[in-house]
Amino acid sequence: MYVQGVSTRRVKRIVEELCGLEVSSSQVSRAAAELDDMLEAWRTRELGIYRYIVLDAQYEKVRQGGQVLDAAVLIACGIDDDGHRDILGCSVSLSEAEVHWRAFLSELKDRGLWVV
């Protein structure tokens, strides 16, 4: 089992060093599965009405097929009438090309994003 490319043994060692808690590899695996479920629920949640959306991208190194590549992390932040900000979603793509932004924004719209 790997958590974002990190072995459960390494996660176990880090938790023990940082938190002073002894955990088993099966506990690390269960926690990773729970986090995956929570992330999926967040990624697919219904969106609503926002006054503004702010779009940005940040480039990060990713490992793909044995190579380290630069990838664009597309990010959308919504601001409601009260000024409250929500991260609406993010998407990893090879660039900031229009086709990638279009696919990302279409997915947000399909989840109910409405800008007034």
72-108 residues labelled b (16+ CB within 10 A) or e (exposed)? bebbbbbeeeeeeeeebbebebeeeeeebbeebbeeb
Same domain? 62 vs 38: no
Same domain, 17 and 33: yes
Statement: residue 14 has pLDDT above 60: yes
- Tens of pLDDT, residues 39-54: 999 999 999 999 999 9
pLDDT digits (tens, 9 = 90+) for 63-87: 888 889 999 999 999 999 999 999 9
Going by DSSP bridges, is the β-strand pair 67-79/85-93 parallel, antiparallel, or unpaired?
A: antiparallel
Regarding whether 68 and 35 lie in a shared domain, the answer is no
Q: Are residues 35 and 60 in the same domain?
A: no
